[in-house]
Homo-oligomer: A and B are copies of this chain.
Amino acid sequence: MCLEDIIRVIKGRRCVRSFREGEIPNEYIHKILEAGIWAPSGGNIQPWEFIVVRNRDMIDKIKLVSPGLFGDPSVIIVVCINLEKAKRGGRIGESMAIIDVSMAAQNIMLVAYALGIGSCPIVSFSKTAVKELLDIPKYVEPILLITLGYTDKWPNPPARRPLEEVVHYEKY
């Protein structure tokens, strides 16, 4: 196994908010998305839908409605849940789907990093506006945006709450 490698990727990944120009090859986008669909999903429903936006004008339009989006990424992946599929999970279907796509997003960002590509997950954006801009149907809900791009500015890691603070043994 390749434990040290995976830990290096998990710890090395940063939220990148300053990108340089540089096109991301299609085969990289493919590998990145392929990682997404190998996340687990509740009841194996796989409620995810991904929209890959490369068009510069559209990226600028999305930026205008996304206060949480910084920098000029080469690509935005809009990570959505398909509500028609999610409802197969019953009462907890939608909340389960949000967990599923978040796990897929983490896979996406890890593989992006392993490819030398910076990323950042963004939840602060207007869902209504993004739905309209990208012709997203009523039964599909965007949950987060992931920016992708090359960078010369890998940020320093923000301090972590230490394990002793966040881990509780046997009881809280």
Contacts and interface: CB of A to CB of B under 8 A. Distances in A.
Nearest to A92: B123
A15 B1 contact: no
A95 interface: yes
8 contacts: A2-B5, A2-B8, A5-B5, A10-B111, A49-B168, A55-B170, A92-B123, A136-B172
A134 interface: yes
A58 to B, nearest CB: 7
Size category, A interface: 35 or more
A115 B38 CA distance: 18
A74 to B, nearest CB: 14
A158 interface: yes
A148 interface: no
A143 interface: yes
A23 B115 CA distance: 36
How many copies of this chain sit in the oligomeric assembly?
2
Interface string A1-45: 111011111110101000000000000001101110111101010
Contact of A2 (B58, B96, B114): B114
A2 B7 CA distance: 11
A105 interface: yes
A14 to B, nearest CB: 8
A82 to B, nearest CB: 9
B167 A33 contact: yes
A38 B50 contact: no
B10 A35 contact: yes
Contacts of A103: 102-103, 105-106, 121
A64 interface: no
